[in-house]
């Protein structure tokens, strides 16, 4: 049995509910590390341990150093992080999209909330996998069957091309090393693709959770989007690496490096931005704005930052 390194990832039920958490904790001139399930805070006065699961927001002031293991725990605990000035007077950085416009998010929410438009977008996704076939009239059930057959065919073709034996996809998310070389390579390759997909979705201001094919998970749209590129990127890369480095204990690292090169050579970032906007019916142009408007059900968008007066009872 392989040796597991680090503390066990907390289960969802072990984390404190948001309404039961402390609102925020401000820290400055300290070093943050991890000790089991607590954030270890060290400064000139000594060491204290803060249970990450009971904090909502961690405000990091000047002079704070954060280790990789501390950020790992913060991410697992659903703890928000904001980098601020001294005593929290100014806010400098936090997790935010590159695109400050909500246009793409509004388009996505509108499309996924209507059954007809949701099916339309799902068909667009499948059409990208079958450019020579017309899938515009197929049901979701038929599309799933057609996609399943395509993926099985891709696996078999790559197996024949590289000489890597293939039976089926098997992996244990809690024990990476328990898998066969090809399954470990596939896991590493798919994870890299998921990460890039998430970064593009977030950077453009869309929602990772509003999926059209996948649903019910905070990464549903990430899985939708990544599936568009697996046959071209992650599956071939994984089989190629497994054919050369099947005995290498660090096959995961080699796969990630190969995926990085494939992303760069295939100019995948450029394609992803164009494809995402196309799927959601948005023009492929710079829509980044930094303005805020007020919504009105009768008058349309109204100016923000204006002191409005109360209307008479007759609304005139």
Tokens of 106: 């509004």
The rounded distance, in Å, linking the Cα atoms of 238 and 106 is: 36
100 is annotated as contributing to ligand binding? no
For residue 15 the two structure tokens come to: 């984390």
Half-sphere exposure at residue 168, Cβ-oriented, CA atoms within 13 angstroms: 2
What are phi and psi for residue 92, nearest 5 degrees? -105, -40
Tokens matching residue 290: 């930094």
**What phi and psi values does residue 244 have, to the nearest 5 degrees?**
-105, -35
How many angstroms separate the CA atoms of 38 and 17, rounded?
Answer: 17
8 A C-beta contact, residue 220 and residue 209: yes
How many CB atoms neighbour CB 236 within 10 A?
19
79 contacts 101 by C-beta, under 8 angstroms: no
- Does 133 count as an annotated binding residue? no
CA–CA separation, 224 vs 193, rounded Å? Answer: 12
Residue 275, annotated as binding a ligand: no
Q: Beta 38-43 vs 80-84: how paired, if at all? A: unpaired
**Binding positions:** 147, 214, 227
**Binding positions for Mn(2+):** 147, 214, 227
């Amino acid at each position: 049995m392989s040796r597991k390194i680090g503390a066990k990832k907390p289960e969802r039920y072990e984390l404190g509910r948001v309404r039961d958490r402390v609102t925020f904790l401000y820290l400055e001139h300290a070093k943050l590390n991890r000790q089991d399930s607590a954030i270890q805070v060290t400064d000139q006065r000594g060491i204290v341990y803060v249970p990450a699961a009971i904090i909502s927001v961690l405000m990091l002031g000047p002079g704070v150093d954060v280790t990789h293991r501390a950020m790992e725990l913060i991410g697992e605990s659903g703890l928000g992080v904001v980098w601020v000035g001294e005593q929290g007077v100014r806010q400098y950085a936090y997790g935010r999209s590159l695109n400050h416009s909500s246009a793409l998010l509004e388009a996505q929410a509108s499309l996924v909330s209507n059954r007809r438009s949701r099916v339309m977008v799902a068909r667009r996704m499948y059409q990208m996998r079958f450019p020579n076939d017309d899938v515009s009239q197929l049901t979701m059930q038929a599309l799933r069957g057609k996609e399943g057959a395509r993926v099985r065919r891709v696996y078999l073709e790559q197996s024949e091309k590289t000489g890597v034996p293939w039976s089926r996809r098997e992996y244990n998310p809690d024990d990476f090393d328990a898998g066969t070389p090809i399954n470990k390579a596939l896991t590493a390759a798919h994870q890299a693709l998921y990460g890039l997909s998430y970064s593009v979705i977030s950077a453009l201001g869309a929602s990772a959770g509003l999926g059209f094919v996948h649903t019910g998970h905070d990464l549903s749209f990430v899985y939708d989007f990544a599936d568009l590129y697996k046959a071209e990127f992650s599956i071939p890369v994984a089989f190629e690496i497994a054919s050369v480095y099947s005995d290498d204990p660090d096959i995961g690292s080699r796969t990630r490096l190969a995926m990085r090169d494939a992303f760069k050579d295939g100019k995948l970032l450029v394609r992803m931005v164009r494809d995402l906007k196309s799927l959601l019916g948005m023009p492929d142009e710079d829509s980044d704005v930094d303005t805020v408007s007020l919504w009105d059900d009768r008058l349309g968008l109204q100016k923000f930052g204006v002191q409005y007066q109360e209307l008479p009872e007759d609304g005139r």
